[in-house]
């Protein structure tokens, strides 16, 4: 597997593997030919998409980030101290806003610590790695930019005594149910004896609370969704007109999940020169761009069990809107 190392004169390392961009062509060819059309959400996260998502996490409607951060500040010191954690691997690290709560807990135990962020966007990782290396002198930072589907094995071996692998933000809910078990089995392979998996999950509840987090009044989520078209225009020589599509978010109660779609506002044809294809959209036709599943405690426990893991700790927020759980190898 080829990698490209970005080696700035700073106290961190970033390995860049061919990430989501390298699967964009295949995903677009398959997804734009499907019925209904669909695209994987990993293609949101170019540099602009990552910026927009960070803006989303600060919106008043987006309760998930604030709830998860409150939980982490409350429970991270105890988890780290009880298990002697001295190494943090963060999957989908992005801007690493919640990372400080975990690193602070590790450093409070006297260990300088090691941080291994993994994300699809190299630019976001580079910024986060530099910021954390400066904020925590002596912290070893080894970032890995890659695709969840192909590059988890590129995460370096454990160097410390106890590793905590964090998968935060409710991102597990973006995976289709059939994809969760193989993904978690791959994550479990990163765990050695005594290691932990820490997962954030958005909890099922009233649609009136959940839906605005995906359809905010300021239109930031709409811009985030539409940015997918800009990615395909740039990378695939496409001629999507973002003004000819509208952001749609809906709550599917039967499956207890949010779905985000892009709706065509007119009959139109879109050329994708890099693929040598034309995608035809009827007026009102929708393309699925993201799901976000909501969970109960029992569903999380069953999800872990299917992957050979055991639910060891369950930490919901005071309102029962969000939870952080700890899993260990069964």
Question: pLDDT tens, 44-66?
Answer: 999 899 999 999 999 999 999 99
Residues 6+ apart with CB under 8 A from 121: 19, 45, 46, 47, 49, 50, 94, 145
Dihedral angle, C-alpha 116, 147, 314, 72, nearest 10 °: 40
Which residues contact residue 78 at a Cβ distance below 8 angstroms, ignoring those fewer than 6 apart?
Answer: none
287 bridge partner residues: 37, 262
Task: Give the max Cα distance, the chain.
Answer: 62
Q: Is 320 left (phi over 0), alpha (psi -120 to 50) or beta?
A: left
Beta pairing, strands 37-38 & 12-16: unpaired
Give the pLDDT score at 7: 47
Rounded to a whole number of angstroms, the distance between the first and last alpha carbons of the chain is 31
**DSSP state at residue 238:** B
**CB neighbours of 268 closer than 8 A, spacing ≥ 6?**
241, 244, 280, 281
Determine the distance from the C-alpha atom of residue 21 to the mean position of all C-alpha atoms in its chain, rounded to a whole number.
16
Residues ≥6 apart with Cβ < 8 Å to 127: 95
> How far apart are alpha carbons 219 and 227 in whole angstroms?
12
How far apart are alpha carbons 23 and 94 in whole angstroms? 19
Q: What residues in the chain have per-residue pLDDT under 50?
A: 1-9
Render pLDDT for 291-319 as a digit per residue (tens, 0 to 9): 999 999 999 999 999 999 999 999 999 99
Q: Which domains are seen in the chain, by residue range?
A: 20-44+207-293 (no CATH), 57-203+295-329 (3.40.50.150)
Cα-flanking dihedrals φ and ψ of residue 209, to 5°? -85, -40
Predicted structure pTM score: 0.92
pLDDT attached to residue 290: 98
H-state helical runs in the chain: 24-31, 47-56, 63-83, 99-108, 122-135, 177-188, 207-210, 220-236, 297-306
Of 306, 307, 108, 315, the residue nearest 199 (C-alpha): 315
Question: How many other β-carbons are positioned within 10 Å of the β-carbon of residue 57?
Answer: 19
Contacts of 250 (CB under 8 A, 6+ apart): 211, 258, 259, 261
C-beta separation of 62 from 56 below 8 A: yes
Using DSSP, state whether 174 is helix, strand or coil. Answer: helix
What per-residue confidence (pLDDT) applies to 2?
Answer: 41
The side-by-side arrangement of strands in the sheet containing 37-38 is 37-38, 286-293, 257-264, 245-252
Identify the pLDDT of residue 229: 98
Cα 116 to Cα 93: distance, rounded to the nearest angstrom: 9
């Amino acid at each position: 597997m080829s990698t490209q190392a970005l080696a700035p004169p700073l106290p961190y390392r970033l390995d860049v593997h061919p990430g989501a961009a390298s699967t964009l062509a295949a995903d677009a060819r398959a997804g734009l030919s499907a019925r209904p059309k669909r695209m994987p959400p990993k293609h949101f996260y170019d540099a602009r998409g990552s910026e927009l998502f960070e803006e989303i996490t600060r919106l008043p409607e987006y309760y998930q980030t604030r709830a998860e951060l409150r939980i982490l500040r409350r429970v991270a010191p105890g988890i780290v101290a009880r298990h002697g954690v001295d190494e943090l691997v963060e999957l989908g690290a992005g801007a690493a806003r919640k990372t400080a709560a975990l690193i602070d807990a590790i450093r409070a135990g006297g260990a300088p610590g090691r941080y291994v962020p993994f994300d699809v966007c190299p630019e976001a990782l580079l910024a986060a790695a530099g910021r954390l290396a400066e904020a925590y002198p002596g912290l070893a930072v080894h970032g890995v930019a890659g695709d969840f589907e192909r590059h988890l094995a590129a995460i370096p071996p454990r160097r410390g005594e106890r590793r905590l692998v964090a998968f935060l933000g409710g991102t597990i809910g973006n995976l289709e149910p059939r994809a969760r078990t193989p993904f978690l089995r791959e994550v479990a392979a990163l765990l050695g004896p005594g290691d932990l998996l820490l997962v954030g999950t958005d909890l099922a509840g009233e649609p009136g609370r959940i839906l605005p987090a995906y359809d905010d009044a300021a239109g930031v989520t709409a811009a985030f969704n539409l940015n997918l078209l800009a990615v395909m225009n740039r990378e695939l020589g496409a001629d999507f007109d973002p003004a000819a599509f509208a952001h749609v978010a809906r709550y599917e109660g039967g499956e207890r999940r949010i779905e985000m779609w892009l709706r065509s506002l007119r009959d139109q044809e879109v050329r994708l020169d890099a693929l040598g294809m034309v995608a035809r959209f009827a007026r009102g036709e929708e393309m699925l761009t993201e799901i976000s599943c909501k969970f109960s405690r029992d569903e999380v426990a069953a999800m872990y069990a299917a992957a050979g893991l055991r639910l060891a700790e369950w930490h919901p927020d005071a309102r029962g809107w969000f939870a952080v759980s700890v899993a260990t190898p069964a």
